[in-house]
Chain A
Amino acid sequence: MADDKVPGALDKGTENAALSGALAAEHAAVWGYGVVGAALGEAARQPAEDAEAAHRTVRDQVSELLAGRKADVVDSKGAYALPFPVLSAVDAAALGVVLEDGVAKAWVRVLDQSVERSTRELAVGVLSAPEVRAVGWRVAAGKSPVTAPFPGLPD
């Protein structure tokens, strides 16, 4: 049977691949927040713990969604390479920004690649929280500007 798929067309395959990317980003965020939390003092650790919990929830949701579709469910890696040494509270906040920006990119890609309305609803619902958290981390990291007009999109 001839393959009549138009190159570049959106379909369930592109959608599931993007969701797999989002799942991988959520795994990375869950792992990364362990590093963020460890680098923060106990009094300042709560935002990292809250963020980790939020990413675990989304990770489990996406994992369940992909499993239900009999699609690839990517596992967490045993370890991830940090983009820079995390030796202080400022480093930890900067890593928080990297984690949230990475998750935002993944979910914007889901919006770009999806064919199901329900998947876009999921993506839009998930996408705001990373940017809200990123604003807090940018403030803590001393970055400017602290808000982003296009989270997840190229500059």
Chain B
Amino acid sequence: MSPTSIPSSPGFSRRTLFAASAAGLAVLVAGCSSPPADPREQVTSKQADQLAAQVAVQATLVAAFAAAGSADPALGAEVTELASQADAQLTRLKAASPGSSASPPAPAPPAGPDARGWLRTQITAAADSHATAAVDQSGARAALLGSIAAGLRGQDGRLA
């Protein structure tokens, strides 16, 4: 018998996630007025509101990357990839919460070398917020928020 391959986890299939996301999207667009096609994606109004709040959290983080880059251009150059990933996270969150209209206040970092520490604080705060929200969600929304939180922890580790 051949040994089990690494990794052995079934993980997520792209099809599963897309199906779940599409169902979740339909629910959010309909304002929860009709039952979703996929019972896994039933969402309460509280969950929909919370997901919209996480869009605002992520938008604030995206703005923080830009602000940190303005305050410390060398840091801005260093975190180009991280900023791009934060923006990709925002895009996927918006897709999962189409009713959200986030316009966060522009964060103001300290100038110079303190910008790195300030940006790490912003990243950690966003990760904490998404992780907390993931626990109150379910299905694909919980998976998305938990994944983004983990990705941001990785970003913080990179900047340490």
Contacts and interface: CB of A to CB of B under 8 A. Distances in A.
Contacts of A105: 7, 9-12
Contacts of B3: 77-81
Contacts of A146: 158
Contact of A130 (B6, B89, B92, B150): B150
Nearest to B5: A81
A32 B7 CA distance: 9
Interface stretch (A3-11, A42-50, A51-59, A61-69): A3-11
Given A83-B5, A111-B147, A112-B16, 6 more contacts: A10-B39, A77-B3, A81-B5, A107-B146, A128-B154, A149-B89
Nearest to A135: B154
B8 A112 contact: no
A145 B139 contact: no
Given A6-B39, A108-B12, A111-B142, A148 B151 contact: yes
B interface: dominant SS: helix
B85 interface: yes
Interface string A94-116: 01001101111111110110110
B111 interface: no
Nearest to B132: A124
Interface of A: 6, 8-10, 21-22, 24-25, 27-28, 31-32, 77-83, 95, 98-99, 101-109, 111-112, 114-115, 117, 120-121, 123-124, 127-128, 130-132, 134-136, 145-154
Contact of B12 (A78, A117, A154): A154
Nearest to A148: B151
Residue picked from A101, A134, A149, most chain B C-beta under 10 Å: A149
Contacts of B144: 150, 153
Most buried by A among B2, B10, B149: B10
Interface string B53-95: 0000000000000000000000000000110011011001000
A149 B131 contact: no
Contact of B142 (A22, A114, A147): A114
**B6, B17, B92, B148 — which one has the most chain A CB atoms within 10 A of its CB?**
B6
**Candidate in B20, B92, B137, B153 with the most chain A CB atoms within 10 angstroms:** B153
B7 A150 contact: no
A147 B154 contact: yes
Given A127-B149, A151-B151, A77 B4 contact: yes
B135 interface: yes
Contacts of A131: 150-151, 153-154
Contacts of B46: none
Contacts of A32: 6
Contacts of A79: 3-4
